[in-house]
Structure 1
Amino acid sequence: MKKFLIAGLGNIGDKYANTRHNIGFKILDALAKKEGLKFETQKLGDLTTYKFKGRTFILLKPSTYMNLSGKAVKYWLTKEKVPLENLLVVTDDLNLPFGNLRLKTKGSDGGHNGLKDIQNVLQTSKYNRFRFGISDEFSKGRQVDYVLGEWTDEESEKLPERLEKSIELIKSFGTAGVNNTMNTFNGK
């Protein structure tokens, strides 16, 4: 059975729960809710396992805070013996319009501290990342407030459909492969 580690990035705690920066947690929570799965607190994160079409998806929400995500990702990759090409990191992206989805097989951290830490710990930038656009609708010097801010009413209204599309992307990643998934979902 093929195994995949899907690491949704975010910060733990109620004050971060509905922030843009926690979209990685939010997407995994939506998938778990849809499939009737429950997360359990384990070493370095909350985990649940989703079985779909002969694949096992290990869903991880690191409890290390965003800037130290690499430690949890490496631990669970090693513990579960998941090959690096079966890792998918789910994160927010300021450079994409709200709700835009982009899957990439490698790249820079784009200034994202969670990706920066994962890259440092794994010693490579060649891992799959699923970026969810949060747009850059903030004034100069207000990036941190924006990223750690809550969704607007308009964004909240559109979020359920975007979460559903994100769940489809994750399932496709494990079943149709990364290239087919990029062709189907990028920019959608």
Structure 2
Amino acid sequence: MSNPPLTGRPPSLIGRKVAVLATDGFEQSELDTPVEALKAAGATVEIVSPKAGEIQGWEHHDKGHVVPVDRGLASADPAGYDALVLPGGVINPDALRIEPEAIAFIKHFVTSGKPIAAICHGPWTLINAGGVEGKQMTSWPSLEMDLRNAGAFWVDRDVVVDQGLVTSRKPADLPAFCAKMIEEFAKGLHS
């Protein structure tokens, strides 16, 4: 399922289906901005959540707006998606990492080699899904020791790519994060 970019044009994600796994407490810009970028590149995007209806975003320490859930986690088949986005926010990934269905969903992408993009606190869930060992990654600085202890090679850069895994530190990194996310999602499966 390779989709090489045309010279001078950003890669196209037409025909690609992307899951954004989130729950209450996601960082607003870290969900909204990647979703907009993916849709602009032609991807079909679904917000997947263990919570039905809608989920509450946050803008740092203040409530943001709600986002409708497209598919409940219980009925979401990870095999039906080409890629996964894990937005940050402190509450969101901390809640997801203790949700067995969420970890199983993420683990499908880890073991199948499908590309994953995780920003800020989003990589927390990858630890529980066994997706960080031996990977070069970045994250919000407070996750550095968690990721190192789980076997990742943590670096402080705006975006890091390692075999289809795209990670970034914070909302200010979103332009670099989105560009690399689209590039890796267009490449498809990684060995």
Q: Indicate the TM-score class for this superposition, using the shorter chain for normalisation.
A: 0.3 to 0.5
Relative contact order, higher structure (CA 8 A, sep 6+): 1
Name the structure with the higher helix share.
1
TM (norm. structure 1) is: 0.40
